[in-house]
């Protein structure tokens, strides 16, 4: 039975290159359902909603909504806020006041937790409402889904960046012998692993990949680096910002408490430079660190076409399911065919998704702990939306030498 | 009078997104001149040539040479080597042994110095040879030329990166309030300044830009940051890796001597993170640093079409001029029309170009020292090869509030 009322949509957590495609999917699908009245957007997620900062998204032109597909970062504004009991009471009052019957929150596991709790509070108060989550995270660490919208694009960026910065090192290895590309990834190595998609031929960069799923051993790392450097053509390494030691502690964290958010996540970053220092000290070899930081998650020019299409599909599916009566669930992506690659949407309970994290499985990590496996490449390659542009490879046919020595 | 003999071409210094387009220009033009026999490429610049590592570039297919236009980094390999007197003697012997009558060295001011000296050694020895330099540097700091091939593409990357990472901060400013994007640029602010091309409307990021042409004052910087943060929408800052204090010393250098190359250049980088620490300590505000590092200079997907075309043109012009009898000069770019933008090639003596550096002129730097001027934008905008992709801007029409407080 059709539930009449307004839609409220919000974006939460770290932006991605395609979170706005999910927003476009929600808006475009919502306009197709006569039971839906207003389409409201939270300004800066639940934080702005608590201040009653809400935008009328029906006022946007079709062209603007379509342009969201190509627009990275979170167009509504985002936040990362842990709610108090008072907050939930206020949210309920606002939902009732604005006759919100459909809530779509685009985010990761913290956002799934928030959505789940809002749904529960509404249910307990007898406010009939459908709450459906739309998955979003570059970290790709949500459970119950084949992968997460946002991941394909950050993976494409890193494949491009490591291929190009890798060629840079191959060219300059007599000066800058080692390059470390530090990627995002708090607890899971999915983003770092995507650097492997840069490889086109055996021996191509990256030569080494270190993931937070395996304890980092400085001695083994230095042995690995030395072995690659000794081949004489430089060494390109992808490392995760969240690398941990034997005891599970992050190798490098931001030294100020100001870098800890309301969920208790400490700001990471800087492990690439720390490892350059280690290589200089222990091996006497020059190393450089590149750390694209938030550029990698928001770089529009590296959007994966597959990712854009799936992000929109997930947004639209959330509206469809909610209109069918689904609530308390998140949309998932299910790989229904490997070759050709094809995903459909499914659902998983928000409560199950909330606060669960999915690390890289063992079968995607090389036994030596310094690389990924072919199974990972098979999993990840379709997600980046087509092959990387083709580059020239010179044969470099030697001219016979004329001088001795 | 036609000088019969072989061409030798090399790539030197830091790679760029278009240095291979200049190589393609040299090869494609050289094949048009019947007086030219072999087309030889130095493997890893003069360093490989000293080991007599030379490739026969006539063995490459036309398709491979054409693909060089789209291939970033230095396909022949590069180096950064200061030559000894012994080296110059050996180079002369090799030039004679391989009947090299045309030398094209694609590089920056150190490379111009090398080319100039090789030309002099050959002249003194009576070995008739034409030496023409092809400009290349992302730093854009060569004199006698309107700009340098390589700059337009690094500028396009930084415009894209700062626009996207800037939108990321606008979305997330309640969590990550300040973003610092650290760009390359040893002594000149050209690359950092290009971040300003990210702006499309007043108030757009980057909000502050700091260049090495102006002494960096931490107190003024903190005041600037606080003023922008107080507006309540975050603060995006572009800084140059080469920022200096009042006494001209780099704010941050690599702590190991291993980071100093044979020209005495110390490895830079890390100023963004250092300024994040300063902001956290002094203002208690969370800041994040992005440092794309070598990714920015080698990112193929951010090639500027204008840059690709001009890099090829400069390579081809070097061959044309040499065949006309020019020697001891570098190809320059001359802006013959501002609107529509159009550049032609000219020449400047290698000796004049060598070791000269061109900082940003005063008229391109805002009086307060924390931004660029409109004159810089007028100069730089045509170089990035067309506008950035259009993004959605939501109106965010407010929904009337229903609850008080």
Question: Does the distance separating the beta carbons of A164 and B298 come in below 8 Å?
Answer: yes
Dihedral in degrees, nearest 10, Cα atoms B62, B65, B67, B71: 170
Count the Cβ atoms, other than its own, within 10 Å of residue B325: 10
Position of tokens 């690094």?
A: B154
Position of tokens 């500027």?
A: B304
Q: Please check the confidence at residue A348 and state whether its pLDDT lies above 70.
A: yes
Give pLDDT tens digits for B274-290.
999 999 999 999 999 99
C-alpha span between A66 and A69 (Å, rounded) = 6
Q: Please check the confidence at residue A399 and state whether its pLDDT lies above 80.
A: yes
Give pLDDT tens digits for B82-96.
999 999 999 999 999
Round the average pLDDT of chain B to a whole number and report it.
Answer: 95
Chain A residues in contact with B269 (beta carbon < 8 A): 273, 288-289
Q: Give the pLDDT of residue B76.
A: 98
Q: Give the pLDDT of residue A83.
A: 95
C-alpha span between A269 and A291 (Å, rounded) = 8
DSSP H helical ranges for A31-97 = 45-50, 62-67, 85-97
Q: Give the pLDDT of residue B356.
A: 86
- Cβ contact A43:A57 at 8 Å: no
Question: Does the distance separating the beta carbons of B301 and A160 come in below 8 Å?
Answer: yes
C-alpha span between A111 and A133 (Å, rounded) = 8
Average pLDDT over residues A49-59: 98
Mean pLDDT is lowest, of B189-198, B261-270, B382-391, for: B261-270
* ipTM of the complex model: 0.96
Q: Which two tokens stand for residue B49?
A: 């040539």
Q: Before A143, cis peptide (omega within 30)?
A: no
Dihedral in degrees, nearest 10, Cα atoms A27, A33, A38, A42: -40
Task: Please count the residues of chain A.
Answer: 405
Q: Give the pLDDT of residue A188.
A: 97
Q: Specify which residues A149 forms β-bridges with.
A: none
Question: Does the distance separating the beta carbons of A389 and B70 come in below 8 Å?
Answer: yes
Q: Before A340, cis peptide (omega within 30)?
A: yes
Q: Please check the confidence at residue A304 and state whether its pLDDT lies above 60.
A: yes
Q: Give the pLDDT of residue B266.
A: 63
Q: Give the pLDDT of residue A251.
A: 87
Q: Please check the confidence at residue B391 and state whether its pLDDT lies above 90.
A: yes
Active site residue B219: no
Q: Give the pLDDT of residue A89.
A: 97
Among B100, B299, B404, the strongest candidate for a mutation testing the A interface, having the largest count of A CBs within 10 A, is B299
The C-alpha angle B338, B344, B347, rounded to 5 degrees, equals 125
Q: Please check the confidence at residue B304 and state whether its pLDDT lies above 90.
A: yes
Among B301, B304, B312, the strongest candidate for a mutation testing the A interface, having the largest count of A CBs within 10 A, is B301
Cβ–Cβ pairs < 8 A, chains A and B: 296
- Cβ contact A6:A37 at 8 Å: yes
Closest CA to B163 of B189, B194, B192, B199: B199
Give pLDDT tens digits for B319-369.
999 999 999 999 999 999 999 999 999 999 999 999 789 999 999 999 999
Q: In what order do the strands lie in the sheet with A100-107?
A: A54-56, A36-42, A5-11, A100-107, A130-135, A329-338, A341-349
Average pLDDT over residues A92-106: 98
Q: Please check the confidence at residue B197 and state whether its pLDDT lies above 70.
A: yes
Count the Cβ atoms, other than its own, within 10 Å of residue A283: 17
Q: Give the pLDDT of residue A404.
A: 73
Q: Give the pLDDT of residue A265.
A: 62
Alpha carbon of A206 to those of A392, B21, B52, B71, B133: distances in Å? Answer: 18, 25, 29, 18, 33
DSSP B339-380: TTEEEEEEEEEHHHHTT---PPPGGGB-TTSSSB-HHHHHHH
Cβ within 8 Å of residue A300, ≥6 positions away: A17, A70, A71, A72, B160, B164, B389, B391
Q: What are phi and psi of B230, to 5 degrees?
A: -65, -15
Q: Please check the confidence at residue A335 and state whether its pLDDT lies above 70.
A: yes
Closest CA to A171 of B48, B199, B108: B48
Task: Quickly state the pLDDT bin for B269 (edges 50, 70, 90).
Answer: low
Give pLDDT tens digits for B24-59.
999 999 999 999 999 999 999 999 999 999 999 999
Q: Determine the 3-state secondary structure of A335 from DSSP.
A: strand
Q: Please check the confidence at residue B254 and state whether its pLDDT lies above 60.
A: no
Q: Which two tokens stand for residue B1?
A: 């009078």
Q: Please check the confidence at residue B265 and state whether its pLDDT lies above 90.
A: no
**Residue A125 exposed, middle or buried by CB count within 10 Å (0-12, 13-18, 19+):** middle
Q: Please check the confidence at residue A270 and state whether its pLDDT lies above 90.
A: no
| Dihedral over Cα of B153, B158, B164, B167: its sign | negative
Among B293, B401, B405, the strongest candidate for a mutation testing the A interface, having the largest count of A CBs within 10 A, is B293
Q: Give the pLDDT of residue B251.
A: 87
Q: Give the pLDDT of residue B212.
A: 97
Q: Which two tokens stand for residue A324?
A: 């069918």
Average pLDDT over residues A199-203: 95
Count the Cβ atoms, other than its own, within 10 Å of residue B170: 21
Chain A residues in contact with B22 (beta carbon < 8 A): none
User: What single DSSP character describes residue B201?
Assistant: S
Chain B residues in contact with A295 (beta carbon < 8 A): 161, 164-165, 181, 290, 292
Position of tokens 């692993």?
A: A193
Q: Give the pLDDT of residue B165.
A: 96
Q: Which two tokens stand for residue A348?
A: 């998983």
Q: Give the pLDDT of residue B260.
A: 61
Give pLDDT tens digits for B61-83.
999 999 999 999 999 999 998 99
C-alpha span between B380 and A45 (Å, rounded) = 37
C-alpha span between A6 and A185 (Å, rounded) = 36
Cβ within 8 Å of residue A85, ≥6 positions away: none
DSSP H helical ranges for A240-383 = 271-283, 294-298, 305-324, 350-353, 374-380
Task: Quickly state the pLDDT bin for B23 (edges 50, 70, 90).
Answer: very high
- Cβ contact A206:A370 at 8 Å: no
Task: Quickly state the pLDDT bin for A269 (edges 50, 70, 90).
Answer: low
Q: What are phi and psi of A279, to 5 degrees?
A: -65, -40
Q: Give the pLDDT of residue B123.
A: 97
**Residue B34 exposed, middle or buried by CB count within 10 Å (0-12, 13-18, 19+):** exposed
Question: Does the distance separating the beta carbons of A65 and B395 come in below 8 Å?
Answer: no
Task: Quickly state the pLDDT bin for A294 (edges 50, 70, 90).
Answer: very high
Average pLDDT over residues B287-297: 97
């Amino acid at each position: 039975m059709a539930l009449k009322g307004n839609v409220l949509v919000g974006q939460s957590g770290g932006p991605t290159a395609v979170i706005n495609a999910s927003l476009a999917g929600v808006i475009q699908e919502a306009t197709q359902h006569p039971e839906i009245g207003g389409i409201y957007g939270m300004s800066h997620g639940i934080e702005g909603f608590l201040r009653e900062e809400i935008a009328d998204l029906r006022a946007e032109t079709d062209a603007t909504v379509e342009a969201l597909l190509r627009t990275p970062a979170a167009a509504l504004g985002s936040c990362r806020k842990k709610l108090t009991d008072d907050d939930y009471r206020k949210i309920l009052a606002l939902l009732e006041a604005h006759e919100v019957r459909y809530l779509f929150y685009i985010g990761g596991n913290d956002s799934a937790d928030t959505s789940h709790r809002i749904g529960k509070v509404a249910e307990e108060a007898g406010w009939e409402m459908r709450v459906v989550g739309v998955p979003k995270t570059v970290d790709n660490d949500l459970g119950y889904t084949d992968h997460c919208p946002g991941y394909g694009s950050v993976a494409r960026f890193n494949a491009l960046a490591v291929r190009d910065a890798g060629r840079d090192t191959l060219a300059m290895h007599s000066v800058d012998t080692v390059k470390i590309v530090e990627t995002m990834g708090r607890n899971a190595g999915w983003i770092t692993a995507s650097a492997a998609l840069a490889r086109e031929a055996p021996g191509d960069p990256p030569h080494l990949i270190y993931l937070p799923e395996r304890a980092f051993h400085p001695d083994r790392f230095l042995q690995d680096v030395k072995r690659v450097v000794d081949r004489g053509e430089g060494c390109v390494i992808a490392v995760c910002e969240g690398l941990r030691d034997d005891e599970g502690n992050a190798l490098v964290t931001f030294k100020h408490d100001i870098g800890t958010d309301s969920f208790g996540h400490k700001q990471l970053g800087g492990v690439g430079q720390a490892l350059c220092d280690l290589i200089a000290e222990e091996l006497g070899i020059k190393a450089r660190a590149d750390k694209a930081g938030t550029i990698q998650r928001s770089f529009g020019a590296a959007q994966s076409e597959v990712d854009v299409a799936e992000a929109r599909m997930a947004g639209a599916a959330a509206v469809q399911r909610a209109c069918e009566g689904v609530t308390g669930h998140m949309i998932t992506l299910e790989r229904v065919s490997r070759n050709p690659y094809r995903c459909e949407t499914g659902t998983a309970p928000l409560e199950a998704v909330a606060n669960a994290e999915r690390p890289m499985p063992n079968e995607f990590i090389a036994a030596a702990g310094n690389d990924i496996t072919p199974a990972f490449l098979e999993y990840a390659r379709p997600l980046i939306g087509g092959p990387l542009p083709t580059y020239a490879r010179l044969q470099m046919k030697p001219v016979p030498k004329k001088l001795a020595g």
